[in-house]
Structures are given as structure tokens and as C-alpha cells.
């Protein structure tokens, strides 16, 4: 009897139950399973919560012991590595004070206040070396409950660790803990305020990399202390770390903000204001081509093109509800004739005005209004990012007004357009269906109708999708499509929403077959989304090498010397007038190699080199920016080739 009182039972992932003495830790559990396991164990999931090895288990706990590489264990590694980094920084810069060091997606950072020193690249290398030493010292990370919080706050203050003192004061009622980093004789080497959990020992940390330093402020408030943030990452294997570093290198080389310097695409100006994009001729050409393609796609699908004003009386946004539900993203009002006006954050109310300009019958439906509509939305300056996150942008916005009977086929049509877009630009994609959230407008029947139309259309097209239960917006279930670019990064793509709110707010209806008024079904959809963002993604997706059909300059004609000028000019003119190609001719006096290199830097798809042989045989020597020398071709044959890659919108 007494025996059982001192025992607890815990459940293992395989369903087995293990009996342990009272007050046993995860570590004891591991040892009781096998000494080998105890050696490699680094932490545990206890009742689905990440815990230290030293965690004391309770009767009935579900325990999964974690080893390197197990799911969830990266968090332990990175969190522990952050403390190793902080210790290394304080060893090298004793004046450094510690702020916070959370894990983030793909890594972690730590904020430091270091008086009289700005960390540079060399420092990062030195810190890495110091970290390696700490890992080799095999320091233990020991959880320590702070017995006297006020004393500890005073100690922190005495050490100049004002940020830690402030944090501890804030969390004083939450059983705060220190993590002591100790040597093999349990002598304390260093400590940090943290709630954990961590690895038991620094010896498990082997593959890490400091990535960059940037400025930050204590509590992200620019009136507070200026801090230096060191970004870093850690992985279990060298392979994983190398693959990650390669991925960021690749992403850096593709960064649209860097590529604009090389390709002259767009600019943002301090004197204009952040988040406002200026499209230079090269990118303007790309955008025009995309818009032309997109208009043709919409014309073929019986969309009608509309245009709506950029400003509207505030009354409009009071009716639409945007003032209340979206007000913080809208710019403040301007007065016209003593009435407040607003810059539009969305095109929907405008399209509703067009719909409501006359009585509509079921025979008029569906109506598909399409607008490349420019909208302005407030974004905090901290989140603005090149063309990807801006304050003014143009959406390929459409609102479809239909009856309940045709809703499924309308969704089907939108999905068809989305699939054709993804194919044209070479994106893989994943589809999500977001259903009714806890708080919602509209009736259960309306939600059922809208959600089943979305589901039916997806099933009809045999599109695999994941359900995001409760992920819909309060007025609409929706389909979200995530796009995957050439290096596998995920981007928020097309959306379809069946709106159960605006038709009510604006009383948007039609006369049905029965002669009565019925509420119209309104679908919002954007496929490209913001053109700024979409084309920003394209720049990175193609790494600036736009396929021929999109390239601002498709062909560069390069005569080798002056005596080839006439023939070259002839080809240039034919390409321009007969093929309507975007073509340039390089008549400069530089060497052939130099001219090829220039065209290559501009990522021009085709170079036509004209010398004696070409003039003689009415041929061109064709060079492709990626495939290199394609050999000599009759002029007519090259023209056919060019037409086929442009018309086929191939990724060539």
C-alpha cells in the first residue's frame, strides 16, 4: 500500500505506462527506459508542452522524450543557442547589457545594448568563435526558481542589467526562473532570466550561424534605448544549416530590391513618402504586358471593365461599414465643399454603386465587374517592404453579382482563371477553404449556401484543398490560394470571398423570376492581388530574368562592325514593325564580348549577332541569355522561334 503512494504512472507515446517514483524527472524516466536514451535525450513533450529534461513529472502525464531532430526539438536548440550567444557577447563586450532573445521562424535573435560599440561583420565571426568555445565547455543549463524576486531585481540593477530587472519585475508573480549555465563541477559561469525550456547541455549545439546585425529599440519603442539585434540560426545537422544558408543566399540574389539596381525597375523616394512605388520604364513595360494579357483573359470570360473614383464621400464608407471595421487602415479625410471625403481602401462599394445604378433582373445576371483598381491603405512603416508591402497599390479586383443558382458555376469560373494564371507564371499552389468563424454575420442558411458553393466548385474541378475551420472572415467564407515560387517560398495568392454582408448593407438586389426582389449574391475575388506585390514576387520568382513574353527588351541586335549595320538595322526594323517585338540595337563601338556581357546583365532573352557570314547568308547568329549559343539560323526561322515563345508565354 505505502509503495503505490510513492509511485506515479506516466504514459509513453506507444501507449505503454511506466511506473516511476514520486518526484521523478523526465531524465529519470529516460534512464529507466534505457541508459542509452538518457544519454541522447534533450527534452520532452509533456502533455503536448515542450519541457526541460529536469521537469518533475506528475501522475497521469503523457510524455514523449525528445532526441535531436525530433519534431519540436529545434525550438530547444535555438533557444539554448540564443543564451550561448548572449554569454559570448558579454564575454567579448563586458559592457553589453541583455534585453530579449526569442526564437523566430528559421532561427532566433538577441537584443543587446552595447555602449560605444557597433557590432560589425568581424565581431560576428568573433562571437561565433566564442560560442563554439562555450559549446565545447559542455556547460549545463540549469533551471533555477528565483527564491527572492526583489533581491534578484536588485542584483540585476547592481549588475547594470536594467532590462532584465524590468522584465523580472513585470513577471514577478509568475514563478520566474533563471537559467544558470554551469561547468562540470556545477560552478555557475553565467545566468540569464528565462522561462525555458532548454537543452540540458551546450554540447548538443554544433551547427549555428550568426546572420546579421540590425538596429532595434527596447520594447520596439523608438523613444527607448537603442539596441543592437543579432540574428542567428541553428540546426541539428550541418546539412540542414548549409541548405538553409544556401536558401537565404538564393533569396538575397533574387531580392527585388537588389535586382532593381541592376535592372532599373522601380524606386521609392523619401521625399515622396514610404510605401509608394514608382514604376520605371522597364517595369512599366512588364506591367503593361501583364495587364494586356489579363484584360484579354477577362474579356474572354465575359467580365466587363469598369472604373471608379479614387475618392468618395465618407458616407459611402459609413454604409459599407469600412469606417468602423477598417478605419485604422484608411487615411484621414479631406474636405470638399465642407463634406468629408476619403481615399478608397477598397473597390467594392464603387462596384456596388454601378450595380445599383439601375434595376437589375435575374436575366441580367451574372454581372462580372472588373477593375484594375488603385487603393490606399495604411501600413505601419516598420512592415513596409519594397514592392511587397506598400501603402498604395492596384488590385485586379472583381465583383461578381449572381443568383444562388449560378454561384457554384461562378466560383468554378474563377478557379479556372486561377489555375490558368498559375500555369502561365509557373507557380505551384495550395488551396485552403476557410469556413464560418465563431463571430459572424448572416444566417446559417446563407453560410451553408456560400460554403457549399465553394466546396462544390473545388470538387467539380478536382482541386485538392485543406479546410481551415473557422478561418473565414466574419462576413464571408473564402478560398485562399497560396503560391509557391521557383525556390519554394510560399506567397499569399488569389482569394475568393462570398460576401454575406455588403448586399445587406447596400440593399443590393435583383428581380427574380417570380417578380419579387431578392438579395443578390456578391463574390469578391482578386487573382493577382496587388500588382505591386504580384510583380514584386515575379521579379524574385524569375530572379529578374523575365520570360521572353514579359521581358522589357526581348531581342538585342548586335552588329559586329559598321559594315554590318545596314543588315542589322533591317532585322531590327522587321522585328519591331512586323513582329511587334521589343527590340534594341547596340551600335556602340565596344567589343562584341562587351556587348554580349551588357545584354546578359540586362537579362535580355535573345541576342542576335550579325557578322560577315550572317549578312552573306541572310542569317542571324542566335544567343540565348541562359542556353548560350544556339548557332546560326535563317532570319525567318528565328522569327518563327520568337513568335512561338512569345505567343506560347513559355518560360524561355
395 is catalytic: yes
> For strand 606-610 and strand 555-559, is the pairing parallel, antiparallel, or unpaired?
parallel
Instruction: In angstroms, give the least distance from the CB of 349 to Zn ion.
Output: 9
377 is catalytic: yes
Judged by beta carbon, residue 79 or residue 229, the one nearer Zn ion is 79
Instruction: In angstroms, give the least distance from the CB of 625 to Zn ion.
Output: 40
Taking the C-alpha atoms of residue 154 and residue 160, their distance in angstroms, rounded to an integer, is: 10
Cis peptide before 457 (omega within 30 of 0): no
Taking the C-alpha atoms of residue 468 and residue 481, their distance in angstroms, rounded to an integer, is: 12
In the block, cell 458553393 appears at: 453
> How many Cβ atoms are within 10 Å of 242's Cβ, its own excluded?
13
Instruction: In angstroms, give the least distance from the CB of 373 to Zn ion.
Output: 9
348 is catalytic: yes
Instruction: In angstroms, give the least distance from the CB of 165 to Zn ion.
Output: 17
Q: How far is CA 440 from the centre of its chain?
A: 28
Judged by beta carbon, residue 524 or residue 595, the one nearer Zn ion is 524
DSSP code at position 203: G
226 is catalytic: no
Answer yes or no: are the C-beta atoms of 152 and 171 closer than 8 Å. Answer: no
Q: Which of 260, 261, 255, 252 is nearest to 211 (CA)?
A: 252
Taking the C-alpha atoms of residue 58 and residue 22, their distance in angstroms, rounded to an integer, is: 8
Collapsed DSSP state (helix, strand, coil) of residue 513: coil
Judged by beta carbon, residue 188 or residue 511, the one nearer Zn ion is 188
Instruction: In angstroms, give the least distance from the CB of 79 to Zn ion.
Output: 4
Q: Which of 401, 633, 393, 438 is nearest to 537 (CA)?
A: 393
Taking the C-alpha atoms of residue 482 and residue 399, their distance in angstroms, rounded to an integer, is: 21
Answer yes or no: are the C-beta atoms of 304 and 295 closer than 8 Å. Answer: no
Give the three cell numbers for residue 570.
533591317
Instruction: In angstroms, give the least distance from the CB of 477 to Zn ion.
Output: 15
Answer yes or no: are the C-beta atoms of 157 and 165 closer than 8 Å. Answer: yes
Annotated active-site residue in 126, 322, 391, 399 = 399
Instruction: In angstroms, give the least distance from the CB of 384 to Zn ion.
Output: 23
Cα Rg, the chain, nearest whole Å? 32
Annotated active-site residue in 397, 480, 485, 586 = 397
Annotated active-site residue in 64, 524, 582, 595 = 524
Instruction: In angstroms, give the least distance from the CB of 323 to Zn ion.
Output: 16
Q: How far is CA 34 from the centre of its chain?
A: 44
Judged by beta carbon, residue 83 or residue 564, the one nearer Zn ion is 83
Answer yes or no: are the C-beta atoms of 361 and 511 closer than 8 Å. Answer: yes
Annotated active-site residue in 87, 152, 395, 554 = 395
Annotated active-site residue in 97, 342, 344, 377 = 377
Annotated active-site residue in 81, 135, 194, 348 = 348
List residues near Zn ion by CB under 5 A.
Answer: 79, 194, 348, 524
Judged by beta carbon, residue 524 or residue 564, the one nearer Zn ion is 524
Collapsed DSSP state (helix, strand, coil) of residue 230: strand
Judged by beta carbon, residue 79 or residue 564, the one nearer Zn ion is 79
How does DSSP assign 341-384, residue by residue? Answer: EEE-S-SHHHHHHHHTTS--BGGG--EEEEEEEEEE----GGG-
Judged by beta carbon, residue 124 or residue 194, the one nearer Zn ion is 194
- In order of 390, 411, 632, 650, the CA distances from 614 in angstroms are 49, 54, 8, 27
Judged by beta carbon, residue 88 or residue 604, the one nearer Zn ion is 88
E strand map for 194-315: 207-217, 226-235, 266-267, 278-279, 304-305, 311-313
Judged by beta carbon, residue 508 or residue 607, the one nearer Zn ion is 508
Instruction: In angstroms, give the least distance from the CB of 348 to Zn ion.
Output: 3
In the block, cell 553589453 appears at: 96
Torsion of CA 570, 571, 575, 579, to 10 degrees: 90
Collapsed DSSP state (helix, strand, coil) of residue 144: strand
Collapsed DSSP state (helix, strand, coil) of residue 2: helix
Answer yes or no: are the C-beta atoms of 17 and 179 closer than 8 Å. Answer: no
Judged by beta carbon, residue 171 or residue 385, the one nearer Zn ion is 171
Instruction: In angstroms, give the least distance from the CB of 501 to Zn ion.
Output: 11
Taking the C-alpha atoms of residue 29 and residue 56, their distance in angstroms, rounded to an integer, is: 10
Q: How far is CA 527 from the centre of its chain?
A: 17
524 is catalytic: yes
Annotated active-site residue in 164, 198, 478, 595 = 478
Instruction: In angstroms, give the least distance from the CB of 397 to Zn ion.
Output: 6
Judged by beta carbon, residue 79 or residue 533, the one nearer Zn ion is 79
Taking the C-alpha atoms of residue 236 and residue 126, their distance in angstroms, rounded to an integer, is: 22
Taking the C-alpha atoms of residue 189 and residue 181, their distance in angstroms, rounded to an integer, is: 6
Q: Which residues are catalytic?
A: 348, 377, 395, 397, 399, 478, 524
Amino acid at each position: 500500500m505505502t509503495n503505490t503512494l510513492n509511485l506515479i504512472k506516466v504514459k509513453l507515446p506507444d501507449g505503454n505506462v511506466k511506473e516511476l517514483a514520486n518526484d521523478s524527472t523526465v531524465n529519470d524516466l529516460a534512464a529507466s527506459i534505457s541508459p542509452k536514451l538518457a544519454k541522447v535525450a534533450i527534452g520532452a513533450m509533456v502533455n503536448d508542452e515542450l519541457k526541460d529534461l529536469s521537469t518533475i513529472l506528475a501522475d497521469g502525464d503523457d510524455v514523449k522524450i525528445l532526441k535531436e531532430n525530433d519534431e519540436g526539438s529545434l525550438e530547444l536548440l535555438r533557444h539554448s543557442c540564443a543564451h550561448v550567444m548572449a554569454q559570448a557577447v558579454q564575454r567579448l563586450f563586458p559592457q553589453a547589457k541583455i534585453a530579449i532573445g526569442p526564437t523566430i521562424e528559421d532561427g532566433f535573435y538577441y537584443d543587446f545594448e552595447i555602449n560605444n560599440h557597433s557590432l560589425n561583420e568581424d565581431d560576428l565571426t568573433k562571437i561565433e568563435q566564442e560560442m563554439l568555445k562555450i559549446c565545447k565547455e559542455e556547460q549545463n543549463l540549469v533551471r533555477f526558481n528565483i527564491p527572492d524576486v526583489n533581491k534578484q531585481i536588485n542584483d540585476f540593477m547592481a549588475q547594470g542589467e536594467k532590462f532584465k530587472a524590468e522584465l523580472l519585475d513585470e513577471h514577478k508573480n509568475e514563478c520566474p526562473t533563471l537559467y544558470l549555465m554551469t561547468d562540470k563541477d556545477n560552478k555557475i559561469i553565467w545566468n540569464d532570466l528565462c522561462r525555458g525550456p532548454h537543452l540540458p547541455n551546450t554540447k548538443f549545439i554544433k551547427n549555428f550561424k550568426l546572420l546579421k546585425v540590425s538596429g532595434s529599440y527596447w520594447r520596439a519603442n523608438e523613444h527607448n534605448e537603442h539596441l543592437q539585434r543579432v540574428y542567428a540560426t541553428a540546426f541539428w545537422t550541418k546539412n540542414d544549416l548549409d541548405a538553409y544558408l544556401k536558401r537565404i543566399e538564393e533569396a538575397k540574389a533574387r531580392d527585388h530590391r537588389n535586382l532593381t539596381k541592376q535592372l532599373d525597375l522601380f524606386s521609392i523616394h523619401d521625399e515622396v513618402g514610404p510605401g509608394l512605388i514608382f514604376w520605371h520604364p522597364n517595369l512599366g513595360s512588364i506591367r503593361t504586358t501583364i495587364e494586356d494579357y489579363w484584360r484579354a483573359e477577362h474579356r474572354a470570360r465575359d467580365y466587363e471593365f469598369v472604373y471608379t473614383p479614387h475618392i468618395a464621400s465618407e458616407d459611402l464608407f459609413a454604409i459599407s461599414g469600412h469606417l468602423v471595421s477598417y478605419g485604422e487602415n484608411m487615411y484621414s479625410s479631406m474636405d470638399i465643399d465642407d463634406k468629408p471625403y476619403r481615399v478608397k481602401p477598397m473597390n467594392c462599394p464603387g462596384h456596388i454603386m454601378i450595380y445599383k445604378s439601375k434595376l437589375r433582373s435575374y436575366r441580367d445576371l451574372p454581372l462580372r465587374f472588373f477593375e484594375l483598381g488603385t487603393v490606399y491603405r495604411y501600413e505601419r512603416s516598420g512592415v513596409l517592404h519594397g514592392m511587397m508591402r506598400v501603402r498604395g497599390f492596384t488590385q485586379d479586383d472583381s465583383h461578381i453579382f449572381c443568383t444562388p443558382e449560378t454561384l457554384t458555376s461562378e466560383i468554378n469560373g474563377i478557379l479556372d482563371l486561377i489555375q490558368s494564371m498559375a500555369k502561365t507564371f509557373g507557380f505551384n499552389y495550395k488551396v485552403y477553404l476557410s469556413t464560418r468563424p465563431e463571430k459572424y454575420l448572416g444566417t446559417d442558411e446563407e453560410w451553408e449556401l456560400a460554403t457549399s458553393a465553394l466546396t462544390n466548385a473545388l470538387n467539380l474541378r478536382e482541386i485538392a484543398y485543406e479546410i481551415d475551420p473557422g478561418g473565414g472572415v466574419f462576413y464571408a467564407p473564402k478560398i485562399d490560394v497560396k503560391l509557391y515560387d521557383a525556390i519554394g517560398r510560399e506567397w499569399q495568392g488569389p482569394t475568393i470571398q462570398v460576401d454575406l454582408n455588403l448586399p445587406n448593407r447596400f440593399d443590393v438586389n435583383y428581380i427574380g423570376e417570380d417578380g419579387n426582389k431578392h438579395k443578390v449574391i456578391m463574390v469578391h475575388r482578386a487573382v493577382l492581388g496587388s500588382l505591386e506585390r504580384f510583380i514584386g514576387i515575379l521579379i524574385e520568382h524569375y530572379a529578374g530574368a523575365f520570360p521572353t513574353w514579359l521581358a522589357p527588351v526581348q531581342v538585342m541586335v548586335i552588329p559586329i562592325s559598321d559594315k554590318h549595320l545596314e543588315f542589322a538595322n533591317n532585322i531590327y526594323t522587321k522585328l519591331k514593325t512586323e513582329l511587334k517585338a521589343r527590340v534594341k540595337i547596340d551600335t556602340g563601338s565596344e567589343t562584341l564580348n562587351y556587348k554580349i556581357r551588357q545584354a546578359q546583365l540586362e537579362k535580355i532573352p535573345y541576342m542576335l549577332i550579325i557578322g560577315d557570314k550572317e549578312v552573306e547568308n541572310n542569317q542571324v547568329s542566335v544567343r540565348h541569355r541562359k542556353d548560350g549559343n544556339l548557332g546560326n539560323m535563317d532570319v525567318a526561322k528565328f522569327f518563327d522561334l520568337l513568335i512561338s515563345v512569345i505567343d506560347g508565354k513559355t518560360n524561355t
